[in-house]
Amino acid sequence: MDQRVALLEAFYRGLPTDRAKLETSAHGFEFLAHLQTRGIQLEYGELTTSEVLHKYKVTHVSAAQVEQFLDWHVAKLCNVCLYFDRQANPVLSFNLDNDNALNNTQLIPEVELAKSSLVAGLEALDCKPLVIASGRGYHIWCRLQAAIPNQRLYQFMIHTGAAALLAVQEQGLDQHKVKLNLYPDVRIQDLVSLRLFGSEHAKNHVFSRILDGTTLLDERGSWAYFERHLALRTIALATFDKAYDAVVPPIG
Amino acid sequence: MRTIAVDIDDTLNNFTQTLRATHFAYHERYALPPALFDEYLERLRNNTPVDEALLSTRFAYFRARIHLECYQRAEARADGVAFMQWLKREGWRIVICTHRDLRTAYAATKEWLEQNHIPFDYLFRAGNKIVFCRLWGIDILIDDNMFNVVYGGRYGVRVFYPKTAPKTSDSPVTQESGARGFETFDQLKPWISV
């Protein structure tokens, strides 16, 4: 097995692998038949408007097939996006994007500031995140020692995310220009998936580089950082609980 | 195997009529004050969207909610259902090709198709259906969108459109487009068999 595939499997362990979304230029009924002969079912497909990029939501994916998808992912033949478990997950992610209706592929100051504030807030809680440049924004991941109920993850993310947006507003910038999506989102958890590290962005084909402080690492450096983060930065449950209590007001 | 792409909204169903005629009661799940609910609903019905600088807005959220309700409530055209069943019996590969956001509308769409006994092999969302049909080697598209009606023929996609659909009934279609309007789905059978 490719070492990078092993790293991806380790980092994202606990996310369901019986379903996925594939982003690829591959298309045609022969391609679909190729998937279907392996028992995979296509829920729906999509042709994006930005360029000839297809997205396929597939289900009934076997463990062996997931590994093949990840092989394709690291070989840049497709991007693999995974969904989150409906009950509990051992990872969480903030997705920060430019929300402008026109020209939303640019990295804008509001997104940069929201990212910096969010990372600082998480680090202050002893929850060192993995920050991945997504093209027009950032995916900010926290890997946890074990799965935590989605509602609890969501409450944690709502409060830390809101604090980051407040920091944008306090600097005199418009926080509404920042789209903040939370994964897992208890309202739409079966509907949305998130690209894994090691992909290329669908629109600009830029590798999903990791941010080390203020330095954007190259592809090789990003993989090395990813491996170190996996080994050293997994958040203990006790640490998460302490962070949760610090940011989420007690009920009543 | 011959393949055909078929749109849903205002082609197989009466989406616009449903949007305009349905009584949508105010509810807090729309996350809007009542006055804004009324204004936004009127805008949706008249197809006059709010001109906004951002993507994730209250209007966008509201539109998605109301459209989803219309997908569920819209009535299937009986002749459209019979035509789709005829296609299946005749051995066509059927691709449902829609603009709907299938991330949120997949379940409702699949359920509606099944409830109305409309057979299909694949379900696709395509931002540009002409590009989709060309890439997938599909030369017949049934659709009410004027862009496809006007430009399909130029790119080798034969487009057939329902004459009674709101979009096509309001706009003249030139001969050069190569597109052909139909009143009943039965008319399509000999046309697509050529």
The amino acid sitting at A83 is: Y
Question: What is the rounded average pLDDT of the residues B179-193?
Answer: 96
| Structural class in CATH, domain A88-247 | alpha beta
Residue of A24, A25, A30, A46 best to disrupt the B interface, most CBs of B under 10 A: A46
The tokens for B62 are: 């509201």
* pLDDT band (50, 70, 90) for residue B172: low
Q: d(Cα A140, Cα A89) in Å, to the nearest integer?
A: 15
Alpha-carbon distance of B169 to B185, in angstroms, equals: 16
**Same fold for the pair A3-82 and A88-247:** yes
Q: Is the pLDDT of residue B132 over 70?
A: yes
- For residue B180, the distance in angstroms to the closest alpha carbon of chain A comes to 25
Phi-psi region of A81 (alpha: psi -120 to 50; beta: other; left: phi over 0): beta
- Which residue do the tokens 């418009």 mark? A174
User: How far apart (Å, rounded) are the C-alpha atoms in residues A169 and A182?
Assistant: 20
Residue B84 has pLDDT above 80, yes or no: yes
CA-CA distances (angstroms) from residue A125 to A142, A238, B100, B117? 12, 12, 41, 54
Among B21-35, B72-86, B161-175, the range of highest mean pLDDT: B72-86
Any A CB within 8 A of B124 CB = yes
Q: Answer yes or no: is pLDDT of B194 > 90.
A: no
pTM of the shown model: 0.94
* SS3 call for B13: strand
Domain covering B3-13+75-193 in this structure, CATH number: 3.40.50.1000
Q: By C-alpha distance, which of B99, B144, B91 is closest to B119?
A: B91
Which residues in chain A are contacts of B137 at CB distance < 8 A? 28-29
Predicted complex ipTM: 0.94
Q: Is A182 exposed, middle or buried (0-12, 13-18, 19+ CB in 10 A)?
A: buried
Structural domain A3-82, CATH architecture: 2-Layer Sandwich (3.30)
Each domain of chain A, given as residue ranges in start order, spans 3-82, 88-247
Domain with CATH 3.40.50.1000 in chain B: 3-13+75-193
Mean predicted lDDT score pLDDT of chain B: 94
pLDDT along chain A (252 residues), means of 10: 96 96 95 95 92 90 95 94 96 94 85 97 98 91 98 97 97 95 86 91 80 95 98 98 95 71
For A217, what's the count of Cα atoms within 13 Å in the CB-facing half-sphere?
Answer: 18
Query: Residue B56: what pLDDT?
Result: 87
Between the alpha carbon of residue A170 and those of residues A112, A152, A165, A180, B52, the distances in Å are 14, 27, 9, 17, 23
Q: Give the closest of A28, A99, A191 to B104, CB-based.
A: A191
A174: contact with B, CB 8 A cutoff = no
* Cα-based distances in Å from B142 to A28, B123, B159: 20, 14, 6
Listed in sequence order, the residues at least 6 apart from B48 whose beta carbon sits closer than 8 Å to its beta carbon are none
Please judge whether A44 and B124 are an interchain contact, meaning their C-beta atoms are less than 8 angstroms apart.
yes
Short-list A190, A202, A243, A25, CA closest to A97: A202
First to last CA, chain A: 51
d(CA A189, CA A154): 11
- Most distant CA pair in chain B, distance: 55
3-class secondary structure per residue, B133-168: HHHCCCCEEECCCHHHHHHCHHHCCEEEEECCCHHH
Chain B residues whose CB is inside 8 A of the A47 CB are 124-128, 131-132, 135
Minimal Cα–Cα distance from A46 to chain B, Å?
Answer: 5
pLDDT for A202: 66
* Amino acid in position B15: F
Q: What is the distance between the alpha carbons of residues B148 and B150, in angstroms, rounded to a whole number?
A: 5
